[in-house]
Chains A and B, each alone.
Chain A
Amino acid sequence: MSLSSRRGTRRLAADAGLLTVAAAFVLPLAWLVLSALDPRAGLRVKAPDGLTLDHFDAILTDEITFTPLLNSLILCGGATALTVVCAALAAYPLSRFRSRLNRPFLLTILFATSLPITAIMVPVYALFVRVELIDTMRGTIFFFAASQLPFAIWLMKNFMDGVPKELEEAAWTDGASSLQSLVRIVLPLMGPGVAVVTVFSFVMMWGNFFVPFMLLLTPDQMPASVSINDFFGNRGMVAYGQLAAFSIVYSTPVILLYVLIARRLGGGFALGGAVKG
């Protein structure tokens, strides 16, 4: 067999292999979409008995959807803003000035990025009860920001290292302060990097279940990641169609945000590349 026809066969084999895996992966997703549109949704993947938007109609109320989504937005938006501002400020001296403290600090940060946050939630709960931050949005926002901060600083510093120092030196000779040159020169030049840190932090928090589950108690304050459990527990029989519809509404923002940064990064981002430096 010639080399090129051997390549052709191999491409077919690779396509077949990928499609098999894709088929297995798509089944749960197919259930989600079909159930959301099926007037009599159950647990199986089946051809829907007609299509309907009734489930979406039923869940798009203040109590079921809008309040939890708004809570999610306040919680994750607030914490993301805090994370990005703190990370940008912290990354600046780490990236710009040589100091003996940089290396130990960065190593600690790197170490902290991979600690299992799940493990400290019980003591955080106990601590929050003691300092009366339990069941408060601000306490949860602070904790979210702190848990995301090591990775955000790490990413931000690597992106900032990519902005040449010479560009700032002109501004310095004109008497600009560090803060001015950070805000006016460095950050605008690393727009894509800031976008990645922002989107990544937001997506991680939007999907996080354990942190708000532990730190918030009042149902009115619950974000969507926790309130979605009500479909199972408190409302008695599980309304699978509504659950599916809610899941779609709740997941859409993060999927869109991911598409936004994935395009910018050419897909190869995968943290692997970004973390490497």
Chain B
Amino acid sequence: MSDGTRRLLPRLLPLTPALALLLLFLAGPIAYCVLIAFTDLQLTGQAEESFVGFENFRRAFGDDAFLNAVWLTLVFTVLSSLIGQNTLGLALAALMQRASKPVRTLTGGIVVTAWVLPEVVAGFLLYAFFRREGTLNAVLDWLHLPSQNWLYTLPILAVSFANVWRGTAFSMLVYSAALNEIPKEITEAAEVDGAGGLRRMWHITLPMIRRSIGTNLMLNTLQTLSVFGLIWVMTRGGPGGRSQTLPLFMYEQAFQNSLIGYGTAVALLLLLVGALFSLVYMRLLRTEV
């Protein structure tokens, strides 16, 4: 053993428990995922699965239910993450800069509580909120506006709003931290020059926090791509698959239809999309460091 390795080994020793866990329980399943995505593995009654090549993927792209799930995942992500959480979070953070302290604390507390609640509890609360006899319709009746059975007529919209309710706090906290770092003199100078609120936001504030915007969009999107419990509790992906995003589709194929191989192929596609976003996120971080 050379002198270098003899010094290096004891230093790397503390890494081993973490490495073992990561290899066995994270890298292992991912490798296994790649492997069985190319087989016809089923849940029951099959002695030996066989290698089927790209059959599962061919099947997916010819499957209307899969394409429907891709479309709904896109709608869900754009509506709830890119538009909803991100914009509302930024608006809240910007308003908080100017609001009085008690209002700021109260609003922050309520929004963060929605975020900290366990996923399933949030699901139940929003189920109760959107149901036919739920709170939203009660409010609409009171305002003499037409009410409807939201979970039946517009399920994807209902679950998107649910995700906004649950996830906005994260964006709000990220943007609050970013806005607090902008030196006061800059905004004050613009104000004295007579730049109005929206113009100041567009020309001065947004360019200064653009990295936070990038990071936040990536993390929101990654989080939204893997939402399962919230939708499961509210609609089970229904009615008729109209709120079935990819994670729910994958679950249904693997367990209700017993097609583990096919479900895993879908999982692999989801993982690839996630990995792509993850790489973009890392690039964004690197420019920041």
Please report A residues at the B interface, Cβ cutoff 8 Å. 3, 7, 10-11, 14-15, 17-19, 21-22, 25-29, 31-32, 35, 42-46, 82, 85-87, 89-90, 92-94, 97, 99, 101, 107, 110-112, 114-127, 142-143, 145-147, 149-150, 153, 178-179, 182, 203, 206-210, 213, 224-226, 228-229, 240, 243, 247, 250-251, 254-255, 258, 262, 267-273, 275-277
Contacts and interface: CB of A to CB of B under 8 A. Distances in A.
Interface stretch (B53-61, B64-72, B78-86, B274-282): B274-282
A277 B288 CA distance: 9
Given A18-B95, A146-B21, A90 B165 contact: no
B206 interface: no
A28 B165 contact: yes
Contacts of B270: 116, 118-119
A45 B130 CA distance: 12
Contact of A122 (B88, B107, B264): B264
Given A86-B18, A225-B119, A127 B29 contact: yes
B119 A28 contact: no
Given A25-B110, A210-B228, A120 B99 contact: no
B111 A22 contact: yes
B177 A210 contact: no
Interface string B86-119: 0010011001111110011011101111101111
Given A143-B25, A146-B25, A115 B275 contact: yes
B33 interface: yes
Nearest to A130: B32
B117 A251 contact: yes
Interface in B225-276: 225-229, 232-233, 247, 250-251, 254, 260, 263-264, 267-268, 270-271, 274-275
Contacts of B32: 123, 126-127
11 contacts: A17-B95, A18-B95, A18-B96, A21-B88, A43-B134, A89-B14, A111-B282, A118-B270, A146-B24, A254-B117, A269-B173
Interface residues of B, number: 103
Contact of A276 (B24, B191, B288): B288
Nearest to A92: B14
Contacts of A119: 33, 226, 247, 250, 267-268, 270-271, 274
Nearest to B34: A123
Given A86-B18, A147-B25, 7 more contacts: A19-B106, A43-B133, A122-B250, A240-B128, A254-B116, A254-B118, A255-B117
Contacts of A267: 108, 173, 176
A112 B268 CA distance: 15
A165 to B, nearest CB: 14
A241 to B, nearest CB: 12
A118 B228 contact: yes
B177 A116 contact: no
A22 B106 contact: yes
Interface of B: 8, 10-12, 14-15, 17-19, 21-22, 24-26, 28-30, 32-33, 36, 41, 88, 91-92, 95-100, 103-104, 106-108, 110-114, 116-121, 124-126, 128-129, 131, 133-136, 138-139, 165, 170, 173-174, 176-178, 180, 191-192, 197, 212, 215-216, 218-219, 222, 225-229, 232-233, 247, 250-251, 254, 260, 263-264, 267-268, 270-271, 274-275, 277-279, 281-282, 285, 288-289
Nearest to B111: A25
Contacts, number: 283
A117 B91 CA distance: 30
Contacts of B288: 276
B243 to A, nearest CB: 16
Contact of A117 (B104, B192, B226, B285): B226
Contacts of A110: 282, 285
B113 A29 contact: yes
B255 to A, nearest CB: 8
Main secondary structure of the interface of B (DSSP, over half): helix
Contacts of A3: 191-192
A90 B18 contact: yes
B21 A149 contact: yes
Nearest to A6: B191
B99 A29 contact: no
Contacts of B274: 114-116, 119
A14 B117 CA distance: 27
Contact of B33 (A123, A207, A273): A123
B18 A153 contact: yes
Given A25-B111, A86-B21, A122-B260, A18 B92 contact: yes
A120 B180 CA distance: 38
Q: Of residues B95, B126, B178, which shows the largest number of chain A Cβ atoms within 10 Å of its Cβ?
A: B95
A93 B277 contact: no
